[in-house]
Structure 1
Amino acid sequence: MTTRGITVLAGGLKETRRITERAEAAGFDAAWSGEFLNRSAVVSVAAMAAATSRIGVGTAIAYAVGRSPLVLANDARFLDEMSDGRLTLGLGTGTRRMMEGWHGVKDAEGPATRMEELIPLLRRLWRLHEGPVRHAGRFYDVDITPTADIEPPLRATIPVYTAGVNARMIEVAGRVSDGLICHPTVTDRYLEDVVAPAVARGAAKTGRSPQDVLLKGVVICAIADDTASARREAAAQIAFYVAPKAYGPVMEASGFAAEAAAIRTAFHAGDHRAMIDAVSDAMLDQMAVAGTVDEVRDALPALEKRYDHAALYSPSFTLAPERVAENTQAIIETFAR
């Protein structure tokens, strides 16, 4: 059975806490927070963990660049302790432009190779109480000899999920991760033709089974009394994600190359209305659930069954913060257990 979560990607810290408290009370299995130019996944998840006692908490995603391996390992160690072992550490690199422009990374080549070097190193740093950690790699050089006794972490292993869109980054999950965080624009066709083979290739490289890698999906969800309004809100979020040129191959592999081209053209013209208009019904139905309460309840199982864990979240592109908050509350109420 697919477990269910909620993702918070908009609003401030207090609102993030309130949403997580409501989700726990409603019986959701997990709550996730990402980060952006104005949002910290680490601080958000700390607040979420402190405000709850049962619900799983996770970063989806925290940037794996911009933090040293030791800082990232210790952030995860303390988040896991704060949550009494409820943490899943979700990591990603973002695009090359984000790595260079946002995080000041000098060597933005090989993001998949970077992740494959980082994650085993994090696991070694969580065992620093066992002795020195020395590592000389392409992206990281670490030489740490503990000078005092170090307590072992709450859990010897913290689940680490990695985000992946292109095949090579998806392979990372197969090689070294406990799970793959699938992008909201993933479709049935993309999962079958690209994701599953890439996970299997990665797993074969390190002698693992593909079944060892869990799939976490992010499902756009818009609920309103008016079906057309809800679908337009969901379409706006899809258009926002598809606009970057990097997602062209993903859309082509899913059969939506024409829609993606039209979205990019409208994006470069600054025409939000045309961007949204370019999202076809078939595209929307593969990437979101949107409509009345009954309609989203009926539609969710078809998308949710793809994943081991499905995290719902509200669109926010072009929406007022009040509408995002209203829709998030509607998601919690609609899918309360």
Structure 2
Amino acid sequence: MSTYGLSVLGADLQSMAQTARAADDAGFDAAWASEFYSRSGSITMAAMANSTQNCRIGSSILYGVGRSPLVLATEARDLDELSHGRLVLGIGNGTKRMMSDWHGVPDTSAPALRMEELVVLLRRIWNLHEGPIHHEGRFYTMNLVPTGEVQPPSRPIPIITAGVRPRMCEAAGRVADGLAGHPLFTTTYVQEIVRPAIAKGAAHADRDPRDVEVVSMVMCAIHDDAEVARRELAQQIAFYSSVKSYETVLDVNGFATEGKAIREAFARRDFPAMFAAVSDKMIDTMGVAGTADDVRNGLTRYEGVLDHIMLYSPSVGIAPERVQENLESIIRECAPLRSSRSEQ
């Protein structure tokens, strides 16, 4: 049975902490933070950890390339302590342009190998009590000799790695505890591309693919006027579809024509045309939108396909007040506690 989480957005740390608390009180399994050039995911997670008691506190995602392995490992360990063992560390590279232009990474080749090396190194740092680390890898170098006794970790912190294309999904199967999927993921893409890639990676590492939790954002908009919600979802779909790196997802779902039109409109900075290029079928396939009943019914198609369904509010071209309103509607209308009460 799938569990539900909430991707927490907000204008400031206080509002995000309050939203996480509301999700926790409503019975959501996890509250997830993200980061961008304007927000630190780890600081958001700390605020959410302090405002919640039961739900997992996850990152979807922190930039692995933006921190040294040592800084990332120590941040995660502190966050796990702060949350009393509720942390899920989700890490990703971002696109190659993000890696080079935002983080100054000189070598953007082989991102899956980079991620695999990083995950193994993080776990080694967390287990420094086993002895010094002398690591000379393709992407990372570390010579860490502790100056005193090191205590073993209180628990193994779960790591989920971001992936869209098959080789990155395979990396999760090889080394991670889960996969952090993209908002554009559809049930078709998960079943035909993602899960087989995870299974391939798991087989390579002699692991059971069922031990790899498939977590993915599902774009979700609720409004009494269903067309308003659908338009909001279309804008978010267009935003992500404008990135050529995600062309594979559109192609698998039969949306190559729409994707081309969206990218051409984006190149002209013609945002109305970009949004208009999103077809009704894309809206019906790549997220859930409409009235509360429409959304609850739409979410059933993800049950059993994703292990963890992370509800994610559209925000592109939408006023912050409306984003907050939508988050509150998602918590109220899609809460696990609501579902359990309705079954009684």
TM-score range, shorter chain: over 0.9
Q: Are the counterparts in 2 of residues 41 and 61 from structure 1 also a CA contact under 8 Å?
A: yes
Of 92-101 and 260-269, more deviation after overlay is shown by 260-269
Structure 1 residue 126 displacement after superposition: 0.4
The amino acid across from 2:57 in the alignment is V
Tell me the TM-score normalized by structure 2. 0.95
Deviations 1:262-297 (A, max 9, x none): 111111121222112111122112211111111111
Match of 2:342 in 1: none
Match of 1:241 in 2: 240
Q: Are the counterparts in 2 of residues 77 and 154 from structure 1 also a CA contact under 8 Å?
A: no
Alignment identity in percent? Answer: 53
Match of 2:54 in 1: 54
Tell me the TM-score normalized by structure 1. 0.97
> Aligned equivalents of 2:146 and 2:216: distance in 1?
39
Deviations 1:87-107 (A, max 9, x none): 100010000110011111111
The amino acid across from 1:234 in the alignment is L
Match of 1:27 in 2: 27
SS at match of 1:279: coil
Query: Residue 107 in 1 paired to residue 95 in 2?
Result: no
> Aligned equivalents of 1:281 and 1:23: distance in 2?
30
Across the aligned residues of Structure 1 and Structure 2, the Cα RMSD in angstroms comes to 1.1
Q: Are the counterparts in 1 of residues 191 and 305 from structure 2 also a CA contact under 8 Å?
A: no
Query: Residue 320 in 1 paired to residue 322 in 2?
Result: no
The amino acid across from 1:51 in the alignment is S
Of 61-70 and 186-195, more deviation after overlay is shown by 186-195
The amino acid across from 2:182 in the alignment is H
> Aligned equivalents of 1:27 and 1:197: distance in 2?
31
> Aligned equivalents of 2:238 and 2:199: distance in 1?
30
Equivalent residues in 2 for 1:67-146 (5 A)?
67-146=67-146
Match of 1:291 in 2: 290
Q: Are the counterparts in 2 of residues 2 and 308 from structure 1 also a CA contact under 8 Å?
A: yes
Deviations 1:57-96 (A, max 9, x none): 0010000102111111111111111111101000100001
SS at match of 2:261: helix
Q: Are the counterparts in 2 of residues 45 and 58 from structure 1 also a CA contact under 8 Å?
A: yes
> Aligned equivalents of 1:31 and 1:18: distance in 2?
11
Match of 1:202 in 2: 201
Of 116-125 and 10-19, more deviation after overlay is shown by 10-19
The amino acid across from 2:331 in the alignment is I
The amino acid across from 2:333 in the alignment is T
Q: Are the counterparts in 2 of residues 80 and 154 from structure 1 also a CA contact under 8 Å?
A: no
Equivalent residues in 2 for 1:214-253 (5 A)?
214-253=213-252
Q: Are the counterparts in 1 of residues 187 and 301 from structure 2 also a CA contact under 8 Å?
A: no
> Aligned equivalents of 1:130 and 1:198: distance in 2?
32
Structure 1 residue 153 displacement after superposition: 2.4
The amino acid across from 2:210 in the alignment is Q
Structure 1 residue 9 displacement after superposition: 3.8
Deviations 1:19-46 (A, max 9, x none): 0011111111100001001011111001
Q: Which runs of 5+ in 2 are unaligned?
A: 338-344
Match of 1:162 in 2: 161
Structure 1 residue 188 displacement after superposition: 2.4
SS at match of 1:58: strand
> Aligned equivalents of 1:210 and 1:29: distance in 2?
22
The amino acid across from 1:330 in the alignment is S
Structure 1 residue 10 displacement after superposition: 4.2
Structure 1 residue 154 displacement after superposition: 2.4
SS at match of 2:60: strand
Structure 1 residue 55 displacement after superposition: 1.1
Equivalent residues in 2 for 1:266-281 (5 A)?
266-281=265-280
> Aligned equivalents of 1:201 and 1:298: distance in 2?
32
Match of 2:42 in 1: 42
Q: Are the counterparts in 1 of residues 162 and 181 from structure 2 also a CA contact under 8 Å?
A: yes
Q: Are the counterparts in 2 of residues 6 and 30 from structure 1 also a CA contact under 8 Å?
A: yes
> Aligned equivalents of 1:315 and 1:304: distance in 2?
21
Structure 1 residue 150 displacement after superposition: 2.2
> Aligned equivalents of 1:291 and 1:178: distance in 2?
34
Q: Are the counterparts in 2 of residues 9 and 35 from structure 1 also a CA contact under 8 Å?
A: no
Q: Are the counterparts in 2 of residues 10 and 316 from structure 1 also a CA contact under 8 Å?
A: no
The amino acid across from 1:31 in the alignment is A
> Aligned equivalents of 1:108 and 1:169: distance in 2?
14
Query: Residue 309 in 1 paired to residue 338 in 2?
Result: no
Equivalent residues in 2 for 1:9-28 (5 A)?
9-28=9-28
Match of 2:341 in 1: none
Q: Which runs of 5+ in 1 are unaligned?
A: none
